[in-house]
A and B are shown apart, each in its own frame.
Chain A
Amino acid sequence: MPANFAPSAADYLRILPEIIMTVAGVLIMLLEGWLGENKKRNLSVQTFVAFAAALVSAVAANGNPGLSFSNMLIVDGFATFFRVLVIAVGILSLFSATQYLKREHAESSEYYALLLFSVTGQCIMATANELIMIFIGLEISSIATYVLAGYLRDDKRNNEAALKYFLLGSFATAFLLYGIAWIYGTTGSTNLSTIRIALLTPGSETNVILAGTAAALMFVGFAFKVSAAPFQIWAPDVYQGAPAPVTLFMSAGPKAAAFAVFLRVFMTAFGPITSRWEPFVWSSALLTMIIGNFAALMQTNIKRLLAYSSIANAGYVMVAIAADSQIGVAAAMFYLAAYAFMNIGAFAVVTHFSRQGEKFVNVEDLAGLGWKQPVTAALFSIFLLSLIGVPLTGGFFGKFYIFKAALDANLVWLTVLGLLNSAVAAYYYLRILVVMYMKEPGEATLSLQPVGVGIAATLWISAVGTLVLGIFPSVVLNFATASSALVK
């Protein structure tokens, strides 16, 4: 038993972002009753204030790093990076959702509360230093996301997406939990650092085999959450079926958080048995890239296309994990940040364009967008170019660092095949560009309304983020590199 278990003030400061968001989530649900029907707009403002406060406190917490709550949580650069990232994703998905909810007549406090809770879960994942905390954070994030995916409950597609996501998600989480049980049985602990020490102890050969199995089981759970092959199969259906702003959120926030715990667990706890898990991370990375990119070639629905693109991008991050080095961790962090911006931007355009009931979600519908709304199209082009990996965008540097890390780790063939994959990827992103600029506007484009404030804010922030990461990558990369030495 710890000598002094009463949490100190520093402990509370380190968990302040989560406290703020939880309290705000509860308050917002209470407030809705007080506000009149026409004041629902205020809810989004309050949500934004909560996010902003959480962002500030997350940054402030970084000034006071360390373990807290009996080693349950750890606040370090890595945690702060992902906390800031997921809160930023939360803010951007809030911006893009307001208009959408109004248009679907579905504005209510629960949406905002669930968004806040989901981000809370992701923050917990980012700071967790204990498998139990990881599991609870993952569940908070996931359950909130399941519900958000089925939010428009009168829409059949929403229902189907939510149900698929929920059932398969629970199924995969069971594997994760089973893996946690295995590792507890093997090492007698759920604390990441303790597990590491136990595995490093000489003469524990049995442990290594059992821990390898535990790693494989936990990999199933994590790979499912980040939609890495062969557990990617749910993603296209769910991304396509969920409401566009929720897809936007899901493809960036929960994914980034899942990668954060993935990195922490595999680098810290399973660090001593790298030779065991590296081969399957390696092959999963390759398979993910291939399935994502080649299946995307055929898609006609833009949400589905971006879903496959999201799978392919998870593959690139897996390459960075397979590199199993500090540079690899930094590269994965950078790429996830860049990916969050460009992907959110792309989905924001889809949110804007799809109109009520998501009528227009085919690639062909975008015909002539370049002439009808040049600014939107130009911003969309930036996101697509970044996804292709053209220089001066965040996507380029992300890929650059990842493949550099892979090459440094002697993963020559993975690098070659990954680069070939990203050459293939150009094709389907280019198709969107061609349709936007080189086709006569069709019915879908001509009836387009001007961009609303929320979407415009999302688009501009994402575009600036994408370009800043592409032109001045050092700022983010330096922070990522400095915090990539995970606490062991």
Chain B
Amino acid sequence: MTALIFLIFACIAVFCGISLVVQTHPIASALSLIGVMGSLAILYLQLGGEFIAMAQIIVYAGAIMVLFVFVIMLLNAGAETPTFQASTFVKYLGIVLLVAFLGLISFIIQAALPKTEGVVFGGFQGTAADVGRKLFTSYLLPFEVTSVLILIALVGAIVLARKEI
């Protein structure tokens, strides 16, 4: 049963991911992204990561996506018109290469991982309490330093976007 749910949502995630890239209209892409986020949240939940699943829904699918859609509406961006003739050769080559890469990776997993051990659903300590405790003890430093990372991203966005230097 768990395996079936996993397969269904994994497929949705992959499908939405491809759709996200292929869609020409920004809104359609944004909606596909919500699909990816949502199905990922379910996968996390299956693994036992309650907190991360909720965060995924609230922060990504909720807050961030709203911002995205907001910006797209504001800019009134329509369907993308290809003004630049990109090389189709590279496009198809890229697809072939990606397939080859993923094939290789799955082959290695197939060949190397012992068949007896699978993923243990729900075998993960992922409640809010667990995550919180980790974040403020062992992972205190990465947690704090990440704020610097976000600050830089903000500054960078401002530098690149404002009119006058």
Chain A residues with CB under 8 Å of chain B are 1-2, 5, 7, 15, 22, 26, 29, 69-70, 72-73, 105-106, 108, 110, 113-114, 117, 120, 124, 130, 132-133, 136-137, 139-140, 143-144, 146-147, 150-154, 162, 206, 209-210, 213
Q: Which one, B3-11, B47-55, B81-89, B141-149, is touching chain A?
A: B141-149
What is the distance, in angstroms, from B107's C-beta to the closest C-beta of chain A? Answer: 10
Query: Does the CB pair A5–B156 fall under 8 Å?
Result: no
Which residues of B in the span 81-118 have a Cβ within 8 Å of any Cβ on A?
105, 108, 111-114
| Chain A residues with CB under 8 A of B75 | none
Q: State the CA gap A354–B141 with chains docked (Å).
A: 42
Categorize the interface residue count of chain B.
20 to 34
Within 8 Å of chain A (Cβ to Cβ): is B155? yes
Q: Which one, B56-64, B65-73, B157-165, is touching chain A?
A: B157-165
Query: Does the CB pair A133–B141 fall under 8 Å?
Result: yes
A1 touching B108 in the complex, CB below 8 Å, given contacts A132-B142, A139-B149: no
Q: State the CA gap A172–B114 with chains docked (Å).
A: 29
- Chain A: which residue is nearest B141 at the CB level? A69
A5 touching B155 in the complex, CB below 8 Å, given contacts A117-B148, A136-B145, A140-B149: no
| Chain A residues with CB under 8 A of B18 | none
Query: Does the CB pair B137–A5 fall under 8 Å?
Result: yes
Query: Does the CB pair B149–A136 fall under 8 Å?
Result: yes
Q: State the CA gap A139–B149 with chains docked (Å).
A: 7
Query: Does the CB pair B140–A70 fall under 8 Å?
Result: yes
What is the distance, in angstroms, from A191's C-beta to the closest C-beta of chain B? Answer: 10
- Chain A: which residue is nearest B136 at the CB level? A5
Q: State the CA gap A117–B152 with chains docked (Å).
A: 7
A110 touching B112 in the complex, CB below 8 Å, given contacts A69-B141, A139-B149: no
Q: State the CA gap A130–B141 with chains docked (Å).
A: 11
Query: Does the CB pair B156–A143 fall under 8 Å?
Result: yes
- Chain A: which residue is nearest B119 at the CB level? A185
| Chain A residues with CB under 8 A of B159 | 110, 114, 147, 151, 153
Query: Does the CB pair A5–B138 fall under 8 Å?
Result: yes
Chain B residues with CB under 8 Å of chain A are 105, 108, 111-114, 133, 136-142, 145-146, 148-149, 151-153, 155-156, 158-160, 165
11 of the cross-chain contacts (CB-CB < 8 Å) are: A2-B138, A70-B140, A110-B155, A113-B155, A139-B149, A140-B149, A143-B149, A144-B152, A153-B160, A206-B112, A209-B112
What is the distance, in angstroms, from B6's C-beta to the closest C-beta of chain A? Answer: 16
| Chain A residues with CB under 8 A of B140 | 5, 7, 69-70
Q: State the CA gap A258–B112 with chains docked (Å).
A: 30
Query: Does the CB pair B149–A70 fall under 8 Å?
Result: no
Q: How many A-B residue pairs have CB under 8 A?
A: 92
Q: Among A1, A140, A153, which residue has its beta carbon within 8 angstroms of that of B138?
A: A1
> A-B pairs with the 8 shortest C-beta distances?
A147-B156, A5-B137, A69-B141, A209-B112, A70-B138, A72-B141, A106-B165, A110-B159
Q: State the CA gap A26–B151 with chains docked (Å).
A: 9
Query: Does the CB pair B133–A1 fall under 8 Å?
Result: yes
Interface of B is mostly: helix
What is the distance, in angstroms, from B47's C-beta to the closest C-beta of chain A? Answer: 12
| Chain B residues with CB under 8 A of A70 | 137-141
Interface of A is mostly: helix
Q: State the CA gap A26–B139 with chains docked (Å).
A: 24
Q: Among B148, B153, B156, which residue has its beta carbon within 8 angstroms of that of A120?
A: B148
| Chain B residues with CB under 8 A of A206 | 112-114
Query: Does the CB pair B165–A152 fall under 8 Å?
Result: yes
Q: State the CA gap A284–B142 with chains docked (Å).
A: 32
Q: State the CA gap A15–B158 with chains docked (Å).
A: 28
| Chain A residues with CB under 8 A of B165 | 105-106, 108, 151-154
What is the distance, in angstroms, from A159's C-beta to the closest C-beta of chain B? Answer: 9
Q: A110-B159, A130-B142 are in contact. List 17 more A-B contacts (CB 8 A).
A: A1-B133, A7-B140, A22-B148, A26-B151, A69-B140, A70-B140, A70-B141, A72-B138, A117-B155, A132-B142, A136-B145, A144-B156, A206-B112, A209-B108, A209-B111, A210-B113, A213-B112
| Chain B residues with CB under 8 A of A120 | 148
A2 touching B148 in the complex, CB below 8 Å, given contacts A114-B159, A146-B156: no
A114 touching B113 in the complex, CB below 8 Å, given contacts A1-B133, A73-B141: no
Q: State the CA gap A150–B133 with chains docked (Å).
A: 40
Query: Does the CB pair B139–A132 fall under 8 Å?
Result: yes
Query: Does the CB pair B112–A210 fall under 8 Å?
Result: yes
User: Most A CB atoms within 10 A — which of B139, B142, B158?
Assistant: B142
| Chain B residues with CB under 8 A of A154 | 165
- Chain A: which residue is nearest B142 at the CB level? A132
Q: State the CA gap A210–B114 with chains docked (Å).
A: 11
Q: State the CA gap A70–B136 with chains docked (Å).
A: 11
| Chain A residues with CB under 8 A of B146 | 136
| Chain B residues with CB under 8 A of A26 | 151
Q: State the CA gap A465–B152 with chains docked (Å).
A: 32
What is the distance, in angstroms, from B75's C-beta to the closest C-beta of chain A? Answer: 18
Q: State the CA gap A113–B138 with chains docked (Å).
A: 29
A2 touching B141 in the complex, CB below 8 Å, given contacts A110-B159, A136-B146: no
What is the distance, in angstroms, from B121's C-beta to the closest C-beta of chain A? Answer: 15
- Chain B: which residue is nearest A69 at the CB level? B141
| Chain B residues with CB under 8 A of A139 | 149
What is the distance, in angstroms, from A297's C-beta to the closest C-beta of chain B? Answer: 27
| Chain B residues with CB under 8 A of A114 | 152, 155-156, 159
Q: State the CA gap A213–B111 with chains docked (Å).
A: 12
| Chain A residues with CB under 8 A of B142 | 72, 130, 132-133, 136
User: Most A CB atoms within 10 A — which of B137, B141, B155?
Assistant: B141
Query: Does the CB pair B112–A143 fall under 8 Å?
Result: no
Q: Among B108, B138, B152, which residue has its beta carbon within 8 angstroms of that of A143?
A: B152
Q: State the CA gap A152–B137 with chains docked (Å).
A: 42
A1 touching B145 in the complex, CB below 8 Å, given contacts A110-B158, A143-B152, A147-B156: no
| Chain A residues with CB under 8 A of B112 | 206, 209-210, 213
What is the distance, in angstroms, from A8's C-beta to the closest C-beta of chain B? Answer: 12
A140 touching B145 in the complex, CB below 8 Å, given contacts A1-B133, A108-B165, A209-B108: yes
